[in-house]
Amino acid sequence: MFTKKYIDELNNPQMLDYGIYLQCDKLLSCQKPLDELATHDELQFQLVHQVEELWMKQIIFTLIDVMEKLSVGKSIAVLSQMKRVHMIQRLMIQQLDLLETMSPKEYQEIRLQLGNGSGQESPGFVTLLKMPKDIWHLFEKHYLVAREQTVNDIYDQAFAHCDAYAIAESLIEFDELMQKFRWNHIFLIRRSIGIDANSLKGRPVEILQTGARQQFFPELWDVRGTMSDRWGQENGKVRDSLRKQKS
In DSSP notation, 161-173 reads: --HHHHHHHHHHH
Query: What domains are there in the chain, each with its CATH number?
Result: 1-30 (no CATH), 39-235 (1.20.58.480)
What pLDDT was estimated at residue 212?
Answer: 65
Residue 96 DSSP one-character state: G
pLDDT band at 180 (very low <50, low <70, confident <90, very high): very high
H runs (alpha helix) in 72-116 = 75-95, 104-111
Q: Strand, helix or coil at 204?
A: strand
> Which has more confidence, 202 or 20?
20
Lowest mean pLDDT among 97-106, 127-136, 144-153, 198-207: 198-207
pLDDT at 37 over 90: yes
Rounded mean pLDDT of 142-166?
95
Burial of 81 (0-12, 13-18, 19+ CB in 10 A): buried
The pLDDT tens digits for 18-29 are: 999 999 999 999
